[in-house]
Amino acid sequence: MNADDGVQMSEQSGVRDGSGAMFDTIAADYDRVNAVISLGFDRGWRRELVARLALAPDEPCEVLDVACGTGDVAVAIARAHPQARVVGLDASASMLDLARDKARARALGGRLRFQLGDAQRLPFDSARFAACCMAFGIRNMNDRLAVVREMARVTRPGGMVAVLELGVPRGRVTGPLGRFYIQHLVPRLGGWLSGGPHAYRYLERSVAAFPPPGEVVELLRRANLEDGAAIALSFGACHLFVGRVPSR
Chain positions contacting ligand SAM, by CB under 6 A:
18-20, 23, 67-69, 72-73, 90-92, 95, 118-120, 135-137, 140-141
| Closest distance to ligand SAM from the beta carbon of 89 (Å) | 6
| Closest distance to ligand SAM from the beta carbon of 181 (Å) | 17
Nearer to ligand SAM, 73 or 240 (CB): 73
Nearer to ligand SAM, 56 or 79 (CB): 79
Nearer to ligand SAM, 112 or 173 (CB): 112
Helix (H, G, I), strand (E, B) or coil at 227: strand
Helix (H, G, I), strand (E, B) or coil at 82: coil
Residue nearest to ligand SAM (CB): 69
Nearer to ligand SAM, 3 or 56 (CB): 3
| Closest distance to ligand SAM from the beta carbon of 76 (Å) | 9
189-195 long-range contacts (CB < 8 A, ≥24 apart) are 189/33, 189/36, 189/37, 190/33, 190/37, 193/29, 193/32, 193/33, 193/36, 194/26, 194/29, 194/33, 195/29
Residue 241 has phi, psi (to 5 degrees) of -105, 125
| Closest distance to ligand SAM from the beta carbon of 115 (Å) | 10
| Closest distance to ligand SAM from the beta carbon of 91 (Å) | 4
Alpha-carbon distance values, 176 to 19, 35, 115, 168, 172 (Å):
29, 22, 40, 9, 7
Residue 183 DSSP code: I
Nearer to ligand SAM, 22 or 57 (CB): 22
Residue 5 DSSP code: G
